[in-house]
Structure 1
Amino acid sequence: MIRARIMAAAMLFNGNDMLMMKRSPHRTLNPGMWAAVGGHLEPEEIGDPEKAVLREIHEETGLLPEEIADLHLQYILLRLNQQEVRQQFIYTAYTPRRNVSLTDEGELHWIARDQVLHRNIPFIFHTLLAHYFEHGPSEHIWVGTAGYAGDGRPAVHWTELIDPRQL
């Protein structure tokens, strides 16, 4: 049976630094790896991933919605992980506040942009970050689907999400 997991995460920036979490070695998903702040959508948030990401930001950092600027849905990631389809809504935002709360999910650190990709990051998120750092913020949403490159190596295929009625 195929199951679905829907998540929302935020790439939070302060100046040239990005807030990242080194996940606790006791976490189920990606233990000990580096990730963005975020988590699963609650049932009442299924139609509102922005609400979910703001809740997750607050739960994991203590940052309030009014301390978040320019929250923007930038990516939607789709991948199959064994018998589970994972859909992730990835937002970008800025915050003037650097002091964040402690969380039992991992350790929070502000990482210089040029050092972010040197961390132990899950493949699909590493690929997303490399794409974002190359292309920068965008007015449209990118959809990334996990698959394989022509040489058989894992890859993420990027497509601009376009409303065909607007063409």
Structure 2
Amino acid sequence: MIRLRMISAALLFNSRGELLMMKRSERRTLSPGLWAAVGGHLEPHELNDPYAAVLREIEEETGLRPTQMTGLRLQYILLRLNGSEIRQQFFYVGHTDAEPCVQTDEGELHWIGKEAILDRPLPYIFRMLLEHYLRNGPAPDPWLATAGREDGGPAMYWTPLRDPPPPGVYETGFPITNEP
């Protein structure tokens, strides 16, 4: 039986270019002791609204409210098969200069400079997302990525998530006609 686990998380940067990261508690079931983004599981009433879930998770784990953030928007959707579980992760990227003001038993929050982000032990799918984001920066369309294997090792397959053009229209936006 295949189960679905949906997660919504945020990459929050400050004006110094630092990323707010959580060093997860060793007592956590998922990724104990590893560094991660702020976020968590969608509640049943949030299954059609991962944005509401990320706002709730940010507030629960940091104390930050929506009015203390700017530009929070969907940048990544990741899909991964983990045993008999499909994990669908929504990653939002935004900015804040507010300081976290709550403590949680999930882990410790730290601002990490961009040059040091990848020096930490990270879950491999999160590492690949961070490598992609740090290399490419924000994009106008969200990225869709699936995790897989290539040459025996983990790999991510990236594609921009875009609406296809309407029938009869090329990607350029010009209509298709039969006229010379």
Give the TM-score band, short-chain normalised. Answer: over 0.9
Partner of 2:88: 87
Match of 2:160 in 1: 160
Q: Show the counterpart of 1:102.
A: 103
Q: CA deviation at 1:103?
A: 1.1
Which residue is 1:6 aligned to?
6
Deviates more, 1:122-131 or 1:151-160: 151-160
CA distance in 2, matches of 1:99, 1:62: 6
Instruction: Within 5 Å, give how 1:7-156 maps onto structure 2.
Output: 7-15=7-15, 16-149=17-150, 151-156=151-156
Q: Indicate the SS of the match to 1:117.
A: helix
**Normalised TM-score (structure 2):** 0.90
Matched residue type, 2:155: A
TM-score of the two chains, using structure 1 as the length reference: 0.97
Q: Answer whether contact 1:144 1:159 (CA < 8 A) is retained.
A: yes
* Partner SS state of residue 147, structure 2: strand
Q: How far 1:98 sits from its partner (Å)?
A: 2.4
SS for the counterpart of 1:164 is coil
Q: Which runs of 5 or more structure 1 residues have no equivalent in the other structure?
A: none
2: CA distance, partners of 1:95 / 1:140: 21
Residues 76-130 of structure 1: per-residue CA shift (max 9 Å, x gap): 0000000000000000010121243211100000001110000000000000000
CA distance in 1, matches of 2:152, 2:106: 34
Q: Could you give the per-residue CA deviations for residues 9-39 of structure 1, whole angstroms, max 9, x where no partner exists?
A: 0000112100000000000100000000000
Structure 1 runs (4+) greater than 2 angstroms displaced: none
CA distance in 2, matches of 1:98, 1:17: 12
**SS class of match (1:143):** strand
Q: Secondary structure of 1:31's match?
A: coil
Work out the CA distance in 2 between the residues paired with 1:50 and 1:33. Answer: 24
Identity of aligned residues (%): 57
Cα distance, 1:164 vs. partner? 1.3
- The alpha carbon displacement at 1:153 in A equals 1.4
Separation (CA, whole Å) in 1 of partners of 2:138 and 2:164: 22
Report deviation, 1:136.
0.2
CA distance in 2, matches of 1:80, 1:165: 30
- Distance in 2, Cα, partners of 1:8 & 1:140: 17
What does the per-residue CA deviation read over 1:59-79, in whole Å, with 9 as the maximum and x for residues that have no partner? 000001100110010000000
